Amino acid sequence: MALPKLETPTYTLKLPSTGQTILFRPFLVKEYKILMTLSEADDDELSRILTELIDVCTFNKLKINELASFDLEYIFLMLRAKSIGETIDLYLNCSACGERNDVTVNILDLKVDKFDKHSNLIEIQNELSVELRYPTFKEVLDLFQKGTETETFDLVSKCMKNIYTKDDTFSCQDQTEEELKQFIFSMTKEQFDKIENFFVTMPKIRQYISKDCTKCGHPNETKLEGLQNFFV
């Protein structure tokens, strides 16, 4: 006789980038075992495992490899909350005496910070604008891993979608990599700073935690940002 099939609960969340409501389910035991290997994974393996797990748990309904990095991080953290637990026990070292203070963070209290006046349409000069997309999780990992000026220019060129003038629209997909690089290199520093500011001010998952030191009473506050703070 076949064993009974277990029912898996489903939940919804809204993607930070678009507000689209998506359906997801928690990790299963077999997926949780894979998750436990993440602390030992290199960046390429980390990106592959995360995207595969999230793709399965969102029923393969998303263009997973095109998701903005903060969308993927947010989905993962909501999966973690519903699969393992909504709280994470961390510690905060006192900035005055160095005492280790235990703190509990509720994942469901996480916010996606969005900067005022942030836009994906950047006016480079009068009647010339560049439309950008958000980098994917893998692209962000690659940038942090290599951290070179060349990698920065590569990321900018990859994230350019369209170039608009008064009379024409140029799809960046129709341009060669070299043509896009030459376009970037022809910018002034002030113009390129506008492009860089798009990445600096793009939405980020953050949580601020505070704790008065249990030893000396000194108030401490820190900011959690990025998945590395939540792999517990």
Q: Is the pTM of this model over 0.85?
A: yes
pLDDT, residue 232, reads 45
What's the confidence (pLDDT) of residue 145? 76
Asked whether the beta carbons of 229 and 205 are under 8 A apart, the reply is no
Res 216: pLDDT: 96
The per-residue DSSP string of 50-113 comes to: HHHHHHHHTTT-S-GGGSBHHHHHHHHHHHHHHHT-SEEEEEEE-TTT--EEEEEEEGGG-EEE
- 121 forms beta bridges with 131
- Residue numbers of the chain with a pLDDT score lower than 70: 147, 226, 228-232
Query: What are the backbone dihedrals phi and psi of residue 191, each rounded to the nearest 5 degrees, phi first?
Result: -70, -40
